[in-house]
Amino acid sequence: MATEFHNLQELRHSASLANKVFIQRDYSEGTTCKFQTKFPSELESRIELTLFEETVKTLNNFYAEAEKIGGQSYLEGCLACATAYLIFLCMETRYEKVLKKIAKYIQEQNEKIYAPRGLLITDPIERGMRVIEISIYEDRGSSGSSSGSSSVSGSTAR
Amino acid sequence: MSAVMITRKVRKWEKLPGKNTFCCDGRVMMARQKGIFYLTLFLIIGTCSLFFAFECPYLAVHLSPAIPVFAVLLFLFVMAMLLRTSFSDPGVLPRALPEEANFIEMEIEAANGNVPSGQRAPPRIRNVQINNQIVKLKYCYTCKIFRPPRASHCSICDNCVDRFDHHCPWVGNCVGKRNYRYFYLFTLTLSLLTIYIFAFNIVHVVMRSVDQGFLNTLKETPGTVLEVLVCFFTLWSMVGLTGFHTYLISLNQTTNEDIKGSWSGKNRGQNPYSHKNIIKNCCEVLCGPTYPSVLDRRGLMQEDSPAAANSEGPCSFDNPVAQTTKTTAPLIPNEHTPDDIKPSIAAEKSSGPKDDQPPAAMQPPLASPETDAETSIAKNQ
């Protein structure tokens, strides 16, 4: 069924999902949200190392800003506590504001850098902040290579 | 010769695995067993009602009107904290989607090499170094992920919870990263409320007995006896619990870690999450950032179900809507998917959620639409 599904897709659209890469979390500094900047081998032929690292580092910086424990977070915490946390019904937390910025940044990166190279980044919040999922699309016009609906495509030896 | 698929939008909470119950269309998230939670509510509201009915009028007149006012404020704060702890997402980690699960499996197999048949595969453990301390991450077979540090799987709720503290039946929910501070404030303020009510009960009885005698006092305010009884027993447990959690917070440990002895005994002083400073630890736990829920309970998603009679085998012809089901599509379209991105070679999945009506002929829905679901019918020819 998978192959049949795929052939139909190829009939209709110019690209199909070939593989997915998952950038894991980097726990070396604790439980704060940070992703590894190690360059996965599957992306070697698709995108430059510097661009990839730039994206991941910027995301890491955003998360660090959201989770920073300092004057502003104390103020927010104390104020919220004083109002029995009812203030969160009308006010957006700092973390939520940063998440919006992250969503915009990822969309921008997808439009400008990743989509032209046949890649698509999924916002980590949709994957439980566990991974950055990068989907790799194959040009249908090139070899009818992989039946990509499963990521165990064997395309790279690990 | 036609097959009919009904596509409708459902809220994501309806499709979440795990044993939670949801109320208010996904806004409220609790464990399945709520009996003890109702008991907690009953005890708090009941005792406070008795206090306001019997003691407060007397005390307001003979001592100060500030006493009932402060009691009301304390009571409201306790209720707010209790409801916040019980109703919020404790920090549940969503289960891995099939692609992610496969990816992890591949990594595990690559790491383990070939295991001769008949031999048990080695346990799935990943070692990470956190602040120069090796921490083992365990694999969760239910959620198909390697649990982040400090996360644990709650068997009652059947979810992995981040910074899992414990499952509290009194609040009817797990206590984890997102609601720990509310839980702590609940225990703290409930202790204060219990002490407050207990103290003023004694004051009231003493003051009234001076005027009327002890037995008459009890006859006039029978609620006092009940209150004193409830408060007496509650006090010891709540003060003890608050003290215990204050100790845990100052060391930046969870109840789960304390019970397992992860950072005690021969591992004492090696907690990699602790800032080694009591004030800093307290500030991080109580005044740290408010983490968002990663569950997106109220997001909308497509659900395809075959309609009743007509379908002949799988709809494998040119109907993109029927095919973009959740189970086969690797990308789940949802509100967060940036679907105004039109990459030059994007697959049709990214345009999935918004336009789920093919240009072909539409017919009135076969099933009656539910209140917040849109039904659309796709027809093959």
Q: Tens digits of per-residue pLDDT, B200-214?
A: 999 999 998 888 888
- Report whether pLDDT(B245) > 70: yes
Test B292 with A99 for CB contact under 8 angstroms: yes
Would you say residue B37 lies in a domain? yes
Show the domain range for A88: 15-31+47-139
Q: Do B103 and B85 fall into the same domain?
A: no
CA-based nearest residue in chain A for residue B294: A128
Strands across the sheet with B159-161, in order?
B92-93, B159-161, B152-154
Task: Supply the angle between the helices B278-287 and B180-212 in degrees, to the nearest 10.
Answer: 90
One domain for residues B72 and B188: yes
Mean pLDDT, range A55-66, rounded to an integer:
94
**In-domain check, residue B305:** no
Closest CA to B56 of B219, B192, B196: B196
Under an 8 A CB cutoff, do B330 and A20 touch?
A: yes
Do B267 and B189 lie in a common domain?
yes
Say what the pTM is: 0.78
Angle of the B35-50 helix axis to the B223-251 helix axis, nearest 10: 120
Taking 80 as the threshold, does the pLDDT of residue B177 lie above it?
A: yes
Q: Are residues B103 and B12 in the same domain?
A: no
| Residue percentage of chain A with pLDDT more than 70 | 79
**B204 vs B373 pLDDT, higher one:** B204
The answer, yes or no, to whether residue B316 has pLDDT greater than 50, is no
* A10 domain residue, yes or no: no
Quick: pLDDT tens for B289-312. Answer: 889 898 888 888 887 777 655 444
Chain A nearest C-alpha distance from B209 (Å): 38
**Residues in chain A closer than 8 A to B128 (CB atoms):** 27-28
List, by residue number, the catalytic residues of B: 168
Residue with tokens 């090796």: B134
The pLDDT value given to residue B308? 58
The answer to whether the Cα torsion of B314, B319, B321, B326 is positive or negative is positive
Structural domain includes residue B359: no
**A-B contacts (CB, under 8 Å):** 175
Query: Three-state DSSP class for B196?
Result: helix
- Asked if the C-beta of A79 comes within 8 angstroms of chain B's C-beta atoms, the answer is no
Within a domain: A2: no
Regarding whether B173 and B138 lie in a shared domain, the answer is no
Are B296 and A126 inside 8 Å of each other by CB?
yes
The mean predicted confidence, pLDDT, of chain B is 80
Whole-angstrom CA distances from B142 to B95, B152, B257, B345 are: 8, 12, 21, 36
Range of the structural domain that residue B82 is part of: 8-93+166-300
* Within a domain: A109: yes
Residue B312 belongs to some domain of the structure:
no
Tell me, yes or no, whether A110 lies in a domain: yes
pLDDT value at residue B269: 66
Q: Per mean pLDDT, which range of B43-57, B83-97, B367-381 is the poorest?
A: B367-381
Q: Say which residues have a Cβ less than 8 Å from residue B23's Cβ, sequence separation at least 6.
A: B30
| Residue B219 placed within a domain | yes
Pick among A113, A127, A137 to test the B interface (most B CBs inside 10 A)? A127
Kindly state whether residue A7 falls inside one of the protein's structural domains.
no
Neighbours of B169 (CB within 10 A): 16
- pLDDT at residue B313 in the model: 45
Distance of alpha carbon B373 from its chain centroid, rounded? 25
What gap in Å lies between CA B156 and CA A152, rounded to an integer? 33
Query: What pLDDT is recorded for position B244?
Result: 96
Structure tokens at A50: 């510097």
Contacts of A83 (CB under 8 A, 6+ apart): none
Long-range contacts of B277-286 (CB under 8 A, 24+ apart): B278/B250, B281/B249, B281/B250, B281/B251, B281/B252, B282/B249, B282/B250, B283/A69, B283/A74, B284/A69, B284/B252, B285/B180, B285/B181, B285/B184, B285/B249, B285/B252, B286/A77, B286/B181, B286/B184, B286/B249
pLDDT confidence bin for B332, thresholds 50/70/90? very low
Contact across the interface for A158 and B106, Cβ inside 8 Å: yes
**Structural domains in chain B (count):** 2
CB-CB: which of A5, A17, A128 is closest to B294?
A128
Mean pLDDT of the region B156-178: 94
Domain membership of residue B170 (yes or no) is: yes
Task: Give the closest of B84, B288, B341 to A85, CB-based.
Answer: B84
- Does a structural domain hold residue A145? no
DSSP B91-145: -EEPPPPHHHHHHHHHHHHHHH-PPPTTSPPPP-EEEEEETTEEEEEEEETTTTE
Q: Is residue A66 part of a domain?
A: yes
Q: Are residues B262 and B140 in the same domain?
A: no
Please report, for residues B41, B68, B198, B262, B319, the alpha-carbon distance to residue B190 in angstroms, rounded to integers and kept in the order given. Answer: 12, 16, 12, 29, 59
Cα distance from A46 to chain B (closest Cα, Å)?
14
Which of A122, A124, A136, A126 lies closest to A34, judged by CA?
A124
Decide if pLDDT at B358 tops 80: no
Q: For residue B280, is pLDDT > 80?
A: yes
Same structural domain, B46 and B28: yes
Contacts of B163 in chain A (CB under 8 A): 31
On chain B, the residues whose CB falls within 8 A of the CB of A107 are 338, 341
CA distance A6 to chain B (A): 11
Half-sphere exposure of A4 (CA within 13 A, CB side): 7
Share of chain B above pLDDT 70, in %: 78
- Judge whether A129 lies within some domain: yes
Report residue B3's pLDDT band, with 50, 70 and 90 as the boundaries: low
Count of structural domains, chain A = 1
A154 has pLDDT over 60: no
Determine whether the interchain pair B292/A4 forms a contact, defined as Cβ–Cβ distance below 8 Å. no
pLDDT score of B85 more than 90: yes
**Which residues of chain B have a CB within 8 Å of the CB of A25?**
148
Q: Which residues of A touch B77 (CB under 8 A)?
A: 84
Q: Which residue of A has its CA nearest to B81?
A: A84
What integer pLDDT is reported at residue B124 of this predicted model?
84
- Asked whether residue B187 carries a pLDDT value surpassing 90, the answer given is yes
Decide if the complex's ipTM is over 0.85.
no
Residue B372: inside a domain: no
Could you report the per-residue pLDDT of A24-58, keeping only the tens digit for each? 999 988 888 999 999 998 888 888 999 999 999 99
Reply yes or no on whether the pLDDT at B174 is more than 70: yes
User: Is it the case that residue B19 has pLDDT exceeding 70?
Assistant: yes
The pLDDT score that the predictor gives to residue B163 is 93
Q: Which two tokens stand for residue B71?
A: 């009691």
Best B185, B290, B326 residue to mutate vs chain A (most A CBs within 10 Å)? B290
Provide the pLDDT for residue B268: 67
Residue B282 lies in a domain: yes
